[in-house]
Chain A
Amino acid sequence: MTISFILNGEDVSLNARSYDRLADALREHFGLLGVKADCRRGVCGKCLILLDGRLAPSCLLPVFRVRGREVITIEGFSQTDEFADIMKGFAEAGLETCGFCDSGKILATAALLERQARPSAREILEEMASVPCRCTDPETMVKGVQAAAELKARRHYRRASQ
């Protein structure tokens, strides 16, 4: 079946079989290697995408599930101002990651900041449960997200003032 959806801001169509997982389709058909199909159970966070702005594990989405929806991967998100806020916030906090969970942590931060401009430490840690990783230092993670939130808020304020 042909499934049409919006991928990283562009209209795309894919001839997909019912059993194709979105994670694999993004990697193999669209070359978006930032998505990694690791556990295939929706628990490791390495395949996370934004589906209509919400964090979702793409390994648990058959391609047909995104018909008519908007999908953003880390590649698409990396072109945004929010991405820059998050990277800078993480750097300010000195957040070090293992290199495998970065995309998940960035998108989880993006999804959270979309709902909550100033998330609490508890809210941040709950959101990061979507990307469990042994490299996570909870305190620095919280600082990184809060720093990103601050940068995003200031950028919006500057824009509003112009």
Chain B
Amino acid sequence: MMEAERDAEGFSLSLTDISFEGMLHISTVRSPVARGRIRSVTPPRLPAGYRLILPSDIPGKNHILSFGAEVPILAAERASYRGEPVALVVGANPLVAAELARSTVVDCEEEEAVLSWESFSSEQVLSKRIAVMGDPDLAFSIAEETIEGTYRSGASEHLYSEPQGSVASFDYDKLGVWCATQWPYHVRDSVAIALGCKNEEVVVRPTRLGVHMDGKLWYPSLLSCHAAIAAYLVRKPSRIFLTREEDFLYSPKRARSSITLRAALDSTGRISAVDARVAVNVGAYGPLAEETLSQICLAAPGAYACPNLRVEGYAVTTNDPPMGAFGGLGASQAFFAAEATAALLAQESGEDPIDWKSRNVLRKGSLLITGEALKDEPPYEAIALRLAAASDFHRKYACYELVRKRRSGRADGPLRGIGFAFAYQGAGSFLTGDSPNSYTVEVSLEKDLTITIRTSAAACKPSVRAIWKRTAALLLDIPIDSVAVAPPDTDKAPNSGPVTLSRGVTVVNRLVEKACENIQKRRFRDPLPLTAKSVYRVPKPIRWENGRVEGSLFETASWGGAIVEVELDPWTLEPIPLSVWICVDGGLIVSRSHAESALRSGSADAIGLCVRERLDIASGAVTEEDYLSYGLMSPADLPPIHVELCETEKRPKSKGIGELPFDTIPPAFLAAVSQAAGTPFRELPVRPEDLSVVAEEA
């Protein structure tokens, strides 16, 4: 089998550095229109050694399956978004191939693009979710107070460590595929479908993944199909590697959402009803439509107890590029709306938000949207008290409220605000659609008393692999240096599902545990080497039927809260984050330093989303101007980020915590900015046009 260079641990290098002799380069011919019928694809005169690949050249099926959606590998008859791959040019010089691709004329009968998604036609609905609990209409009719608002989350760019791409090369009877992917087996199966061959004839060798922000769940499979098809046709190693600009312009972004939330309070000040209407723009094909919509709808009530609930959600397809996951599957967008609503309710009641939420937050026994009762008591007080003490929240909130109510202009002094948000991250949430019914991890105890862990999820962060190694070392009483994680190549590692939703720390780590326990039982009676396979059967997915949600919302959850303090710049009125406090109860924390570090870097990203990261995609395509303007927040502009971990469970389990900064910091920031500005904002980042309201009031 052809081999590319590997690092000391045996993992493939980054895709950028993989090169084979005689390798050819692929460039993509793209649709110039967002919607239309493709009449013809006409290349310029191709020099010797260059060829055009059309949909008709695909030996197998011309689609990949992505979580219930079929995404064309190359658009054949119709274009569904601007930039959609229509053909490929492959040849020896990447720059020549790129120029030939650019010069290829894609003649389309353009139709009016469908870009509207907050109001939409029934043909646009890819997925619908409706759930009703109790009698929300009655509750609203007798409510003491109601409030309503529409909260929007914009598209965001993943800015992962490395642009996307793939290399494919035939070696005798097998095809090797190198790419950075969160799900090697999805790549393998997609390529096999595209080539019309057996899964086992394709071997995926995942390259270094780095930071992915969930942008490499399914898209690498599409590019790997391009590389594989080219390699199949030209019989040479073939490489497709998007430039950063191309990746920015054409790869999937976070799905935009609009959540209209109406909440009712009863005479005791408790939430008596919530009505949520959710629209998610999943773009063309909607590869993660079902999952994203489900996650947002399930989290729509936030972390609050609510006896009467209606959630109505729609995943809407448009002629925008396909949109999808970003640091989770959308729950953060739901928490944004729920927490913003809670902040307003608390403000109107005149109560401190921490106290207001204490009265309304989920408790042990509270009914969840699935109709089940919450099994464990959320550690609300533990988290809220710690945060309040660390940040001096109560005093500051009261002080800033006073200023907000009495202020006559910005000449009165700095405009400040402080906000608090509370949310959960469900563990044991699973992707449905293409997920296998079970996940497998293998552990071997070798004759030389070294341990090898095999899992396709090994493409994750080194710190997560370190957790597995520690688990194995402790259970089998073997030095940690004698524990190795095998590279996640699909001919060596079993299918453990995608690297996402903190599964490495939860599901995979538990599987490592079970496998090691099995070996431990056998090791002194059976000869070495010993291998144990640990299988996890995926529970039945949540079902949305007849207006009800059936299933388990989560097996366990980690809980988190965040407080953000901001000040409006005295000159530009732009919000400047002054400080962030985040407290998380993540169950069993194997490495505190790694958990704290991960929360800090996640919080830095979350603040960046609040202050500067946003794509509008107004005209159905990401533009070059977007690319040149988009960027991460400078580390020098970040506020101090204070992280605390608390452990409240008697028998804690490992849980994921990576999404909690995204669930809590944006709504806390929004509440703080709204208080500082004296006007409720409903989306982030706050635009200059929105801030002009503050200037006018002043």
Chain A residues within 8 Å of B, Cβ to Cβ? 33, 36, 38-41, 43-44, 94, 96, 98-101, 122, 125-126, 128-129, 132-141
CB–CB B638/A99 < 8 A: no
Q: Return 29 A-B CB contacts under 8 Å, by A number.
A: A33-B17, A36-B16, A40-B244, A43-B631, A44-B244, A94-B597, A96-B461, A96-B463, A99-B161, A99-B208, A100-B208, A122-B636, A125-B638, A126-B635, A132-B631, A132-B635, A133-B161, A133-B632, A134-B160, A134-B211, A135-B211, A136-B601, A136-B604, A137-B597, A137-B598, A137-B604, A138-B600, A138-B638, A140-B597
Q: Which of B213, B244, B594, B605 is in CB contact (< 8 Å) with A38?
A: B244
- Beyond A98-B161, A135-B601, 5 additional contacts (C-beta under 8 Å) are A38-B16, A39-B245, A99-B462, A129-B636, A136-B604
A137, B162: Cβ atoms closer than 8 Å: no
The 6 lowest CB-CB distance pairs between A and B, nearest first, are A98-B210, A100-B161, A129-B634, A125-B635, A132-B632, A137-B600
Q: Which residues of A contact B160 (CB under 8 A)?
A: 134
Max chain A Cβ within 10 angstroms of own Cβ: one of B160, B161, B245: B161
Q: How far is the CB of A142 from chain B (nearest CB, A)?
A: 9
Contacts of A99 in B (CB 8 A): 14, 161, 208, 210, 462
Contact B461 A129 (CB under 8 A): no
Interface residues of B in 637-676 (CB under 8 A from A): 638, 641
A133 x B636 contact (CB < 8 A): no
**B628 lies within 8 A of chain A by Cβ:** yes
Looking across the interface, which residue of chain B has its beta carbon closest to that of A101?
Answer: B161
Chain A contacts for B463, CB-based, 8 A: 96
Given contacts A38-B244, A129-B636, A133-B161, contact A100 B14 (CB under 8 A): yes
Given that A101-B161, A134-B605, A135-B210 are known contacts, is A41 also in contact with B628, CB under 8 Å in the complex? yes
B208: which A residues are within 8 A, CB to CB? Answer: 99-100
Once bound together, how far apart are the Cα atoms of A7 and B161, in whole Å? 27
- Nearest neighbor of B591 in chain A, beta-carbon distance: A94
Q: In the complex, how many angstroms separate the beta carbon of B343 from the nearest chain A beta carbon?
A: 27
The docked-state distance in angstroms from the alpha carbon of A41 to that of B455 is 38
B14-68: which have CB < 8 Å to A? Answer: 14, 16-17
Instruction: Tell me the bound Cα distance from A96 to B600 in angstroms.
Output: 12
**Distance to closest chain A CB from B386 (angstroms):** 18
Minimum Cβ distance to chain A for residue B639 (Å) = 10
Q: How far is the CA of A137 from the CA of B243 in the complex (A)?
A: 26
Residue of A nearest to B210 (CB): A98
Proximity string of chain B (589-607) to chain A, C-beta cutoff 8 Å, 1 when within and 0 when not: 0000110011011001100
Q: How far is the CB of A146 from chain B (nearest CB, A)?
A: 14
The distance from the CB of B167 to the nearest CB of chain A, in whole angstroms, is 15
- Which residues of A have CB within 8 Å of B210? 98-100, 135
A100 to B160, CA, bound (A): 10
For the residues of A in contact with B, the DSSP-based class is: loop
Residue of A nearest to B608 (CB): A134
What A residues does B14 contact at CB under 8 A? 36, 99-100
Query: Does chain A have a CB within 8 A of B163?
Result: yes
CA distance A40 to B627 in the complex (A): 12
* Any A CB within 8 A of the CB of B159: yes
A133 and B605 alpha carbons, distance in the complex (Å)? 9
- What 0/1 pattern do residues 215 to 249 of B give for CB contact below 8 A with A? 00000000000000000000000000001110000
Contact count band on B: 20 to 34
Task: Determine the chain A residues whose CB is within 8 A of the CB of B597 once the complex forms.
Answer: 94, 96, 137, 139-140
Task: Output the least CB separation between A2 and chain B (Å).
Answer: 23
Roughly how many angstroms separate A41 CA and B628 CA in the complex, as a whole number? 9
Query: Could you tell me which residues of chain B, from 584 to 631, have a CB within 8 Å of some CB in chain A?
Result: 593-594, 597-598, 600-601, 604-605, 628, 631
Which A residues are in CB contact (< 8 Å) with B593? 94
CB-CB under 8 A for A132 and B634, given A38-B163, A100-B210: yes
User: Is the pair A140, B635 in contact by a Cβ cutoff of 8 Å?
Assistant: no
Q: Which residue of B lies closest to A34 (CB)?
A: B17
B601's partner among A33, A38, A43, A134 (CB-CB below 8 A) is A134
A138:B634 contact, CB within 8 angstroms: no
Q: Determine the distance from Cα of A130 to Cα of B126 in the docked complex, in whole angstroms.
A: 42
Residues of B within 8 A of A44 (CB): 244
Which residue, A41, A44, A135, A141, has most C-beta atoms of chain B within 10 A?
A: A135
With a CB–CB cut-off of 8 A, which chain B residues contact A101?
161
Shortest B295–chain A CB gap in Å is 21
Q: How far is the CB of B215 from chain A (nearest CB, A)?
A: 11
* Chain A residues near B631 (CB-CB < 8 A): 43, 132
Which chain A residues lie closer than 8 Å to B462 at the CB level? 96, 99
**Distance in angstroms between the alpha carbons of A100 and B635 in the assembled complex:** 17
Residues of B within 8 A of A43 (CB): 631
Smallest CB–CB gap between B580 and chain A, Å?
11
Contact A138 B161 (CB under 8 A): no
- Contact across chains for A137 and B601 when beta carbons are under 8 A apart: yes
| Residues on A with beta carbons closer than 8 Å to the beta carbon of B636 | 122, 125-126, 128-129
- Convert B273-313 into 0s and 1s, putting 1 for each residue whose CB lies closer than 8 angstroms to a CB of A: 00000000000000000000000000000000000000000
| Chain B 90-125 per-residue mask, 1 if CB under 8 angstroms from chain A, else 0 | 000000000000000000000000000000000000
Measured between alpha carbons, how far is A139 from B211 in the docked complex, in Å? 18
In the bound complex, residues from chain A placing their C-beta under 8 Å from that of B598 are 137
Q: A139 vs B594: C-alpha distance in the bound complex, in angstroms?
A: 12
Bound complex: CA of A33 vs CA of B208, how far in Å?
15
**Bound complex: CA of A98 vs CA of B462, how far in Å?**
9
Name the interface residues of B453-512: CB closer than 8 Å to any CB of A. Answer: 461-463
Q: Give the docked Cα–Cα distance between A52 and B163 (Å).
A: 30
- Cα separation A135 to B461 with both chains bound (whole Å): 10
Which residues of B sit under 8 angstroms from A133, Cβ to Cβ?
A: 161, 211, 632
- B-side contacts of A139, CB under 8 Å: 597, 600, 641
Collect the chain A residues with CB atoms within 8 Å of residue B628's CB. 41
8 A Cβ contacts from B187-225 to A: 208, 210-211, 213
Chain B neighbourhood of A36, CB < 8 A: 14, 16
Residue of A nearest to B642 (CB): A139
How far does the alpha carbon of A100 sit from the alpha carbon of B605 in the complex, in Å? 17
Known: A40-B244, A125-B636, A138-B641. A100 touches B162 (CB 8 A): yes
Is A38 a contact of B634 with CB atoms below 8 Å? Answer: no
Give A99 to B161 CA distance when docked, in angstroms.
8
How far, in Å, is B389 (CB) from chain A's closest CB?
20
Give CA–CA (A69, B600) in the complex, Å.
39
Residue of A nearest to B17 (CB): A33
Task: Identify the closest chain A residue to B634 (Cβ).
Answer: A129
Min Cβ gap B428→A in Å is: 26
- With a cutoff of 8 Å between Cβ atoms, the chain B residues found around residue A122 in the complex are 636
A129 touches B601 (CB 8 A): no
Contacts of A136 in B (CB 8 A): 601, 604, 635
